[in-house]
């Protein structure tokens, strides 16, 4: 497999290492997986800020029942682009593109991804996609929600809608290219001394994620291309008055977009499985259960999409089949949660920012998961579908489950990426504000939905005003919570305490190289002598053969 | 604390968690009042899930907090925690228990859904009695309309096969009241095929088996009455039904739950549940109005693109304000 195509005049043991990368390297078609990972992370974070600003604008609008801050069409454009940006331009690129690219080769002892140039290409599809999405505002902005159901999407803001579709197809292509790369890299390039059961759980999660992306993304692309044709070229795949069927779109869309939820969450679960053992100083509880549950979620996750369509055109038998399959996903997810909680038991838990965010994720995800179970059952879903209960649920899962995990990952691996530690006091402040803000914003939304407030509305029944005001205050707390984080990142990147190679005493391979790592990761490839989670296990210090008998 | 055996603590915690969960499950007050036959079914099921959910939440959350406090690293403490890597019985237990819970919930939800009528839309005996003739009649009153495909589809009105159908006790019987419900940006139009009444609000008698035939003229809308716990999308080109019995006299909101454009949030009207006598009174009073010819005053766009009949326009004018976004 091709390794990184590096300029030959860069000797591996450059004296001024680890400062081998210059700032402008990050603006080039660089093929190093670490540069690409950071490119993804920074780009995604910029989009997070943009999407967050849109959220704050929406919440400001929703502070009162009337539509008095944004006009309703602009509200819908913000709502659509907020959802789109958060999913396709923040969580997915940050988790898969950012952490995946940065960590997978380091964790398996490879010098780079299998196809470095493909990797760079996959990243460079993102900026034009994002530009296209933002430029759509010049044409009014797509307004049909991130789901873009026809006929609404075929009749409103058609130019902006077409730009939206093209943007999604670009990021979708990026994600397919990335997935192929991850699968081949993990499959073929781990150091020979690493057994499959010593593969860090993050890599297992990336493997499952990539398989899922590879199966589901093309379906979304197909669905969107048909939509694009309906809008621009007079076809009628989804036009009921000309023999088309609007519900087909919903099937195609959700066949991708429900698994997309797992695309977002599986890599984050992977991050959790790395962060928790290191800071709890304990082996991860139930390694195999966690690895297999990722694969199980990925398989069952392909058969749950109709739970988004209980109130639309689905035959009754489908509602039943999909109720059951949806509920079943809760089991492997529960197994993971319980395993992480059990990992805390008997540990020596270091309550630093990374760990706080990881534990914060655990508690938020429990709530999001439980409300997900109620949504999975057809009778309750009929009542709360398309209401704020759903908005509450998916923000608990996506904010609590994704953003907390990404933050945990950033605090955990920042020293590896930059060679410097983040400031802990700012980190803890950031955590506290984020935790309070998230709960204040999203907890009351459950009640709004149950009581009768639909989602995606710029104006609502005045009886819901007091609760909405609480949510809006929460959103402002969340907005402010970013400030200590930004200060922390910028300051620590330049002036932070020097971290050393392994500040947390981690055992996975990325901690065996320098911080930041050399251009080809190691001067001499590492030999795996113990598992990635063997904290407190002395006898494992010996050879790998010894482990083999142990595990049985 | 050290002297009290762990099992006693576990037992006490278990009892406390159970009590709290039951209390939360039955006193949460999160749901609006119940006004349909289906509402108590949904609510009981929700209460059960909330009870189980609260228990699980307290146990997991409690464990997290307990472990974080108990096993936090104290100042100066070095070294690693206990090297526990797994525990097969424990893992089997926490896989099996949730699996049993979700299987139970799955089966139970099928049962509830069946009792709500969710499994019986398009019940055939019923449709033999209620032919789609009335819908045709409504359209026929508007010979001047420029062709609207949506209306043509409405006229064809094939048997709805999706939606919430008859609950088991009325299955096979014709509904007492049939209302054709059309969603359009941004109003609901209710047509009573047997009397020709067209209204911007839904009037129904309490305790009677009502069937709504849902259709959409432009984009997808979703008919929701929170107090009925019922919601059904109105999808262009897909005839759909929603059958229910209101159980309480009163006025409840009708909300559009599917994003249908900028003024989606303004697509609100009311359902008025009358006593049977009041309903008759309302019907006889309005029958007269409906037959009076009226001049359309909605914009030409509405009339031409949507094939709205003159009566309908007048009724919408009179009864809703949603057609005119400028006022909102
Ligand atoms: C920064 C804090 C956030 C706030 C205050 C916020 C607020 C909101 C609001 C007000 C809506 C519109 C709800 C509606 O009108 O139906 C919304 C929708 C949405 N949000 Fe967020 N959100 C935040 C973060 C996130 C994150 C981190 C994600 C994902 C990772 C996310 C994903 C979504 C999605 C997918 C939608 C649905 C858009 C649609 O219906 O088309 N949000 N959010
Ligand atoms: Cu609507
Ligand atoms: Cu609507």
pLDDT the model gives residue B144: 34
Q: How far is A478 from chain B (nearest CA, A)?
A: 23
Query: Best mutation site among A44, A86, A98 for ligand 1, i.e. most ligand atoms within 8 A of its Cβ?
Result: A86
A461 to B230: CB separation less than 8 angstroms, yes or no:
no
Find out whether B149 and A151 touch, Cβ atoms under 8 Å.
no
User: In angstroms, rounded to a whole number, what is the distance separating the alpha carbons of residues B43 and A97?
Assistant: 43
Largest CA distance in chain A: 72
User: In angstroms, rounded to a whole number, what is the distance separating the alpha carbons of residues A264 and B19?
Assistant: 36
Q: How far is A351 from chain B (nearest CA, A)?
A: 7
User: In angstroms, rounded to a whole number, what is the distance separating the alpha carbons of residues A342 and B210?
Assistant: 53
User: In angstroms, rounded to a whole number, what is the distance separating the alpha carbons of residues A416 and A361?
Assistant: 22
Q: Which residues of B31-52 are buried (b: 16+ CB within 10 A; e: fewer)?
A: bbebbbbbbebbbebbbebbbb
Which residues are within 5 Å of ligand 2 (an ion), measured at CB? Answer: B 221, 256, 260, 267
Q: Which atom of ligand 1 is nearest to the CA of A58?
A: 10
Q: Which single residue is written with the structure tokens 């803001």?
A: A157
| Residue among A426, A429, A431, A433 nearest A497 (CA) | A426
Give A58's contacts in chain B (Cβ within 8 Å).
none
Please give the residue of chain B at the shortest CA–CA distance from A286.
Answer: B86
Burial class (CB in 10 A: 0-12, 13-18, 19+), B97: middle
Cβ-Cβ contacts under 8 Å for B251 (sequence gap 6 or more): B270, B271, B272, B273
A282 shares contact with chain B (CB less than 8 Å): yes
A351 shares contact with chain B (CB less than 8 Å): yes
Q: Which atom of ligand 1 is nearest to the CA of A402?
A: 30
Q: Stretch B66-71: mean pLDDT, rounded?
A: 90
User: In angstroms, rounded to a whole number, what is the distance separating the alpha carbons of residues A233 and B236?
Assistant: 21
A149 to B220: CB separation less than 8 angstroms, yes or no:
yes
The CA B225 to ligand 1 mean position distance, Å, reads 25
B237 to A341: CB separation less than 8 angstroms, yes or no:
no
Is the preceding omega at residue A151 within 30 degrees of 0, hence cis?
yes
Rg, Å, chain B Cα set: 27
For ligand 1, is residue A475 a contact (CB within 6 Å)?
Answer: yes
Residue B247's pLDDT band, with cuts at 50, 70 and 90, is: very high
A348 shares contact with chain B (CB less than 8 Å): yes
| Residue among B53, B55, B62 nearest B105 (CA) | B53
| Residue among A404, A418, A405, A409 nearest A489 (CA) | A418
Q: How far is B244 from chain A (nearest CA, A)?
A: 14
Q: In B157-296, which residue ranges form alpha helices assigned H by DSSP?
A: 276-291
Query: What is residue B190's three-state secondary structure?
Result: strand
Q: How far is B287 from chain A (nearest CA, A)?
A: 31
User: In angstroms, rounded to a whole number, what is the distance separating the alpha carbons of residues B264 and A152?
Assistant: 11
Q: Which atom of ligand 1 is nearest to the CA of A145?
A: 41
Write the residue with the smallest CA distance to atom 40 of ligand 1: A145
CB-nearest partner of A457 from B81, B232, B265? B265
For ligand 1, is residue A52 a contact (CB within 6 Å)?
Answer: yes
User: In angstroms, rounded to a whole number, what is the distance separating the alpha carbons of residues A461 and A381?
Assistant: 22
User: In angstroms, rounded to a whole number, what is the distance separating the alpha carbons of residues A228 and B168?
Assistant: 44
Residue B1's pLDDT band, with cuts at 50, 70 and 90, is: low
Rg, Å, chain A Cα set: 23
A331 to B99: CB separation less than 8 angstroms, yes or no:
yes
Write the residue with the smallest CA distance to atom 38 of ligand 1: A83
B46 to A334: CB separation less than 8 angstroms, yes or no:
no
What are the φ/ψ torsions at residue A90 (nearest 5 degrees)? Answer: -120, -75
What are the φ/ψ torsions at residue B188 (nearest 5 degrees)? Answer: -100, 140
Q: Which of residues 229-248 of A touch B (CB under 8 A)?
A: 240-242, 244-247
**Is residue A459 left, alpha or beta, with left meaning phi > 0 and alpha meaning psi from -120 to 50?**
beta
Q: How far is B4 from chain A (nearest CA, A)?
A: 20
A363 to B41: CB separation less than 8 angstroms, yes or no:
no
User: In angstroms, rounded to a whole number, what is the distance separating the alpha carbons of residues A383 and B244?
Assistant: 14
Query: Best mutation site among A52, A55, A94 for ligand 1, i.e. most ligand atoms within 8 A of its Cβ?
Result: A55
CB-nearest partner of B67 from A242, A327, A341? A341
The CA B220 to ligand 3 mean position distance, Å, reads 8
The CA B38 to ligand 2 mean position distance, Å, reads 23
What are the φ/ψ torsions at residue A498 (nearest 5 degrees)? Answer: -65, 135
Per the DSSP assignment, residues forming a β-bridge with B177 are B210
The CA B183 to ligand 2 mean position distance, Å, reads 6
| Tokens at B171, concatenated | 């299955």
The CA A80 to ligand 3 mean position distance, Å, reads 15
pTM for the structure as a whole: 0.87
- The Cα-based distances of B52 to A323, B57, B91 in angstroms read 18, 8, 20
For ligand 1, is residue A144 a contact (CB within 6 Å)?
Answer: no
| Residue among B194, B238, B243, B245 nearest B217 (CA) | B238
Q: Which atom of ligand 1 is nearest to the CA of A457?
A: 15
Query: What is residue A201's three-state secondary structure?
Result: helix
The separation between CA A361 and the C-alpha centre of its own chain, rounded to angstroms, equals 13
Write the residue with the smallest CA distance to atom 13 of ligand 1: A456
CB-nearest partner of A382 from B72, B230, B240? B230
Write the residue with the smallest CA distance to atom 15 of ligand 1: A456
Report the percent of chain B where pLDDT is more than 70.
74
For ligand 1, is residue A282 a contact (CB within 6 Å)?
Answer: no
B46 to A349: CB separation less than 8 angstroms, yes or no:
no
User: In angstroms, rounded to a whole number, what is the distance separating the alpha carbons of residues A119 and B101?
Assistant: 43
For ligand 1, is residue A91 a contact (CB within 6 Å)?
Answer: yes
Read off the pLDDT of residues B132-157 as tens digits, 9 standing for 90 and up. 433 333 333 333 333 344 444 444 44
pLDDT the model gives residue B13: 86
Q: How far is B289 from chain A (nearest CA, A)?
A: 30
pLDDT the model gives residue A128: 94
A·B CB contacts under 8 A: 298
Q: Which atom of ligand 1 is nearest to the CA of A56?
A: 5
Q: How far is B288 from chain A (nearest CA, A)?
A: 33
HSE of A39 in the Cβ direction (CA atoms, 13 Å)?
25
pLDDT the model gives residue A422: 93
Please give the residue of chain B at the shortest CA–CA distance from A351.
Answer: B72
Read off the pLDDT of residues B209-238 as tens digits, 9 standing for 90 and up. 999 999 998 899 999 999 999 999 998 888
pLDDT in tens, chain A (552 residues): 344 444 444 444 444 444 567 777 777 888 889 999 999 999 999 999 999 999 999 999 999 988 888 888 999 999 999 999 999 999 999 999 999 999 999 999 888 899 999 999 999 999 999 999 999 999 988 989 999 988 899 888 889 999 999 999 999 999 999 999 999 999 999 888 888 888 999 999 999 899 988 888 888 889 999 999 999 988 888 888 888 888 888 888 888 888 888 888 899 999 999 999 999 988 888 888 888 888 888 888 888 888 888 777 677 777 778 888 888 888 888 898 999 999 998 888 889 999 999 999 999 999 999 999 999 888 899 999 999 999 999 999 999 888 999 999 999 999 999 989 999 999 999 999 999 999 999 999 999 999 999 999 999 999 999 999 999 999 999 999 999 999 999 999 988 888 888 888 888 888 888 888 888 888 888 888 888 888 877 654 444 443 444 333
Find out whether B177 and B211 touch, Cβ atoms under 8 Å.
yes
Write the residue with the smallest CA distance to atom 4 of ligand 1: A55
B60 to A374: CB separation less than 8 angstroms, yes or no:
no
Q: Which residues of A306-318 are buried (b: 16+ CB within 10 A; e: fewer)?
A: bbbbbbbbbebeb
pLDDT the model gives residue A130: 94
Query: Best mutation site among A79, A92, A400, A435 for ligand 1, i.e. most ligand atoms within 8 A of its Cβ?
Result: A79
Write the residue with the smallest CA distance to atom 33 of ligand 1: A83
User: In angstroms, rounded to a whole number, what is the distance separating the alpha carbons of residues A301 and A245?
Assistant: 25
Q: In B160-233, which residue ranges form alpha helices assigned H by DSSP?
A: none
Give A347's contacts in chain B (Cβ within 8 Å).
67, 71, 81-82
pLDDT the model gives residue B223: 94
For ligand 1, is residue A58 a contact (CB within 6 Å)?
Answer: yes
Q: Stretch B157-168: mean pLDDT, rounded?
A: 70
Residue B299: is its pLDDT beyond 90?
no
Q: Which residues of A186-209 are buried (b: 16+ CB within 10 A; e: fewer)?
A: beebbeeebeeebbbbbbbbbbbb
Q: Stretch B240-250: mean pLDDT, rounded?
A: 91
């Amino acid at each position: 497999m091709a390794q990184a195509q590096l300029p030959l005049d860069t000797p591996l043991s450059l004296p001024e290492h680890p400062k081998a990368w210059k700032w402008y390297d990050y603006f080039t078609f660089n093929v190093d997986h670490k540069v690409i990972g950071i490119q993804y992370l920074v780009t995604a974070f910029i989009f997070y800020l943009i999407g967050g600003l849109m959220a704050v604008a929406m919440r400001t609008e929703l502070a009162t029942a009337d539509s008095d801050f944004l006009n309703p069409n602009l509200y819908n454009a913000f709502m659509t682009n907020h959802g789109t940006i958060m999913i396709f331009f923040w969580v997915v690129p940050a988790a898969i593109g950012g952490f995946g690219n940065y960590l997978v080769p380091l964790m398996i002892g490879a010098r780079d991804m299998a196809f470095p140039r493909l990797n760079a290409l996959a990243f460079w599809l993102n900026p034009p996609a994002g530009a296209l999405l933002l430029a759509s505002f010049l044409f009014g902005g797509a307004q049909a929600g991130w789901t873009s159901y026809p006929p609404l999407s075929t009749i409103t803001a058609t130019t902006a809608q077409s730009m939206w579709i093209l943007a999604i197809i670009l990021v979708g292509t990026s994600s397919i290219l990335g997935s192929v790369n991850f699968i081949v890299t993990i499959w073929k390039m781990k150091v020979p001394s690493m057994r499959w059961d010593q593969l860090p759980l993050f890599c297992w999660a990336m493997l499952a994620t990539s398989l899922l992306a590879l199966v589901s993304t093309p379906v979304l692309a197909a669905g969107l291309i048909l939509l694009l044709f309906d809008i621009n070229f007079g076809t009628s795949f989804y036009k009921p008055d000309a023999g088309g069927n609007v519900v087909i779109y919903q099937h195609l869309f959700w066949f991708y977009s429900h698994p997309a939820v797992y695309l977002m969450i599986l890599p984050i679960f992977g991050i959790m499985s790395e962060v928790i053992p290191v800071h709890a100083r304990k082996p991860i509880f139930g390694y195999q259960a966690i690895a297999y549950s990722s694969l199980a979620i990925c398989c069952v996750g392909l058969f749950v999409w109709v739970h988004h369509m209980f109130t639309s055109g689905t035959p009754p038998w489908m509602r039943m089949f999909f109720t059951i399959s949806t509920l079943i996903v809760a089991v492997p997810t529960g197994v993971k949660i319980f395993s992480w909680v059990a990992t805390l038991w008997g540990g020596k838990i270091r309550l630093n920012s990374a760990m706080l965010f990881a534990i914060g994720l655990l508690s938020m995800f429990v709530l999001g998961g439980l409300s997900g179970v109620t949504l999975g059952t057809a009778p309750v879903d009929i009542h709360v579908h398309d209401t704020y209960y759903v908005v509450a649920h998916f923000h608990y899962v996506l904010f609590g489950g994704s953003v907390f995990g990404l933050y945990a990952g950033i605090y955990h691996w920042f020293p590896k990426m930059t060679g410097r530690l983040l400031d802990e006091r700012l980190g803890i402040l950031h955590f506290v504000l984020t935790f309070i803000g998230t709960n204040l914003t999203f907890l009351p939304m459950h009640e709004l939905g149950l009581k009768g407030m639909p989602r995606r509305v710029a104006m609502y029944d005045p009886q819901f005003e007091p609760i909405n005001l609480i949510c809006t205050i929460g959103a402002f707390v969340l907005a402010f919570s970013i400030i200590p984080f930004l200060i922390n990142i910028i300051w620590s990147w330049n002036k932070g305490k020097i971290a050393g190679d392994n500040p947390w005493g981690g055992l996975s391979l990325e901690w065996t190289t320098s911080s930041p790592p050399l251009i080809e990761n190691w001067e001499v490839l590492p030999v795996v002598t113990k598992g990635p989670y063997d904290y407190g296990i002395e006898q494992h210090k010996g050879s790998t053969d010894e482990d083999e008998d142990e595990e049985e | 604390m050290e002297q009290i055996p762990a099992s006693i603590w576990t037992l006490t915690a278990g009892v406390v968690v159970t009590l709290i969960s039951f209390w939360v499950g039955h006193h949460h007050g999160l749901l609006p009042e119940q006004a349909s036959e289906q509402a108590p079914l949904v609510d009981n099921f929700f209460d059960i899930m909330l009870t189980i959910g609260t228990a699980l939440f307290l146990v997991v959350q409690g464990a997290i907090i307990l472990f974080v406090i108990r096993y936090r690293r104290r100042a100066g403490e070095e070294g690693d925690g206990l090297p526990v890597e797994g525990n097969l019985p424990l893992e089997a237990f926490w896989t099996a228990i949730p699996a049993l819970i979700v299987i139970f919930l799955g089966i139970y939800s099928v049962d509830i859904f069946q009792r709500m009528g969710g499994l019986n839309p398009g019940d055939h005996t019923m449709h033999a009695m209620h032919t789609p003739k009335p819908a045709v009649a409504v359209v026929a009153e508007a010979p001047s309309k420029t062709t609207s495909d949506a209306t043509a589809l409405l006229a064809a009105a094939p048997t709805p096969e999706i939606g919430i159908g008859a609950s088991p006790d009325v299955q096979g019987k014709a509904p007492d009241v049939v209302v054709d419900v059309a969603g359009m940006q941004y109003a609901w139009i209710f047509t009573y095929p047997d009397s020709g009444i067209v209204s911007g609000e839904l009037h129904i008698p309490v305790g009677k088996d009502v069937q709504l035939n849902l259709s959409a003229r432009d984009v997808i809308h979703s008919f929701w009455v929170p107090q009925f716990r019922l919601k059904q999308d109105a999808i262009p080109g897909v005839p759909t039904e929603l059958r229910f019995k209101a159980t309480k006299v009163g006025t409840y909101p009708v909300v559009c739950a599917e994003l249908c454009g900028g003024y989606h949030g303004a697509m609100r009207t009311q359902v008025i549940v009358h006593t049977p006598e009041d309903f008759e009174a309302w019907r006889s009073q309005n029958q007269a109005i409906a037959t009076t010819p009226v001049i359309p005053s909605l914009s030409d766009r509405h009339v031409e693109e949507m094939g709205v009949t003159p009566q309908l326009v007048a009724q919408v004018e009179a009864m809703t304000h949603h057609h005119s976004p400028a006022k909102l």
